[in-house]
């Protein structure tokens, strides 16, 4: 058996096309969704992310508002900017790029964002809405992962799902989305006793533990859907670095039914879902559902 590749790049592209079509329809009503992205400091990876987000926002027909602040910006200054964006009628979604410099409390900043404009889905109110099945804006990476799962299994009701990783950004919201889809959900992590046997129960295995190639092929249930959220840079041959996931890809592909590659799996879905959240927020703010 060789697992089918779940092409996150193609699925994300199709999602962005659908979003662009909806945005174009809204333009006929005089509505242009707007996404504001705030970057504090000069973290190289964050700069790349922000540049890609701005590019895809514009390509989808939305307004892009970039706010680049120097690394010495105070927490009070950042909170004041968030408050201005909350009040700005042209802004439907707000994203504050993490990590933030040490003088700024990220939790305080994220909680200051208007939940209705919380494009990242991190505000406690959105977390609660997702947990209770009452709507809300879901975190982008789990939302994208769920879309990839449904691309293989449109109705995963009754399947056993195992999430390896318990972070607030991926693991915990993934629980709620899988429960909402009717799955039986187990949350495991690096300290779980006999982790391999727990993983082998999974019809759907979501790896989000942050350890390069930790999950081996022998841990995979034959035919399982494997979603690899991990992005780890490791040294390869001749000192060249390469990106790998949390799953030993070649081993797992020989056992699984479908698997996401790294790169090109979950990653492309994250920005596409950011745009989807911004569109959802724009419509909700105008009573359009």
User: What pTM does this model have?
Assistant: 0.95
Domain count for the chain, please give it: 2
Find the radius of gyration of the CA atoms of the chain. 19
What local confidence, expressed as pLDDT, does residue 198 receive? 98
- Please give the distance of CA 125 from its chain centroid, rounded to a whole number: 18
Residues 242/262, Cβ–Cβ less than 8 Å: no
Tokens of 154: 């449109």
Q: From the candidates 56, 92, 97, 246, give the one annotated as an active-site residue.
A: 97
Q: Is 53 a catalytic residue?
A: yes
Q: Are residues 147 and 261 part of one domain?
A: yes
Domain that residue 206 falls in: 140-268
Q: Do 91 and 204 belong to one domain? A: no
Q: Which of 148, 152, 153 is CA-nearest to residue 207?
A: 148
With respect to residue 224, please indicate whether it lies within any of the assigned structural domains.
Answer: yes
Return the CATH number at 233: 3.40.50.720
Residue 188 lies in a domain: yes
Q: Which of 120, 203, 228, 246 is catalytic?
A: 120
Q: Is there a single domain that holds both residue 240 and residue 187?
A: yes
Q: How many helices (H) and strands (E) does the chain have?
A: 10, 11
Task: Return d(Cα 97, Cα 47) in angstroms, integer.
Answer: 9
pLDDT digit of tens for each residue in the chain (289 aa)? Answer: 799 999 999 999 999 999 999 999 999 999 999 999 999 998 888 888 899 999 999 999 999 999 999 999 999 999 999 999 999 999 999 999 999 999 999 999 999 999 999 999 999 999 999 999 998 999 999 999 999 999 999 999 999 999 999 999 999 999 999 999 999 999 999 899 999 999 999 999 999 999 999 999 999 999 999 999 999 989 877 778 889 999 999 999 999 999 999 999 999 999 999 999 999 999 999 999 7
* Cα 87 versus chain centre, distance: 26
Answer yes or no: is 252 within a domain: yes
The pLDDT of residue 238: 72
Which pLDDT value is given to residue 241?
A: 87
| Whether 105 and 156 share a structural domain | no
Residue 185 belongs to some domain of the structure: yes
Phi then psi for residue 191, to 5 deg, are -100, 5
Q: Are residues 35 and 106 in the same domain?
A: yes
The predicted pLDDT at position 43 comes to 85
Same domain flag for 83 and 203: no
What is the per-residue DSSP string for 198-250? Answer: HHTT-SEEEE-S--TT-B-GGGSPTT-EEEE---EEEE-GGG-EEEE-SB-HH
CA dihedral 119→125→181→22, nearest 10 degrees, is -30
Is residue 71 domain-shared with residue 182, that is, in the same domain?
no
Residues 110 and 144 placed together within one structural domain of the fold? no
Domain with residue 46: its CATH number is: 3.40.50.10860
Considering the domain architecture, whether residues 92 and 182 belong to the same structural domain is answered as no
Please indicate, yes or no, if residue 253 is contained in any of the structural domains: yes
Residue 109 lies in a domain: yes
Residue 283 within any structural domain of the chain: no
Tell me whether residue 195 is in a domain.
yes
What is the rounded (10 degree) CA torsion for 170, 281, 96, 169? Answer: -10
Q: Which of 53, 117, 172, 221 is catalytic?
A: 53
């Amino acid at each position: 058996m060789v697992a089918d590749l779940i092409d996150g790049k193609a699925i994300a592209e199709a999602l962005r096309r659908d979003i662009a079509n909806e945005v174009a329809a809204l333009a006929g009503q005089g509505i242009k969704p707007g996404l504001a992205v705030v970057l504090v400091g000069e973290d190289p990876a964050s700069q790349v992310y922000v540049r890609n987000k701005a590019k895809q926002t514009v390509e989808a027909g939305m307004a892009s508002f970039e706010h680049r602040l120097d690394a010495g910006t105070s927490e009070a200054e950042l909170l004041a900017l968030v408050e201005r964006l909350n009040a700005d009628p042209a802004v439907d979604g707000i994203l504050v790029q993490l990590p933030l410099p040490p003088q700024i409390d990220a939790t305080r900043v994220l909680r200051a964002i208007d939940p209705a404009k919380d494009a990242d889905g991190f505000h406690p109110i959105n977390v609660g809405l997702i947990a209770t099945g009452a709507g809300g804006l879901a975190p982008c990476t789990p939302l994208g992962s769920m879309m990839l799962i449904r691309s293989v299994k449109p109705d995963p009701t009754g399947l056993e799902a195992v999430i390896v990783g318990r972070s607030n950004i991926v693991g915990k919201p993934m629980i709620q989305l899988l429960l909402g889809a009717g799955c039986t959900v187990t949350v495991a992590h690096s300290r779980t006793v006999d982790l391999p046997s727990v993983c082998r129960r999974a019809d759907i295995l979501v790896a989000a533990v942050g350890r390069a190639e930790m999950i081996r092929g022998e841990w995979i249930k034959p035919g399982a859907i494997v979603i690899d959220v991990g992005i780890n840079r490791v040294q390869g041959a001749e000192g060249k670095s390469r990106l790998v996931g949390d799953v030993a890809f070649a081993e797992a592909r020989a056992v699984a039914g479908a698997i996401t590659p790294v790169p090109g799996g979950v990653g492309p879905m994250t920005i596409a879902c950011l745009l989807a959240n911004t569109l959802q927020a724009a419509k909700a703010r105008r009573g359009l559902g």
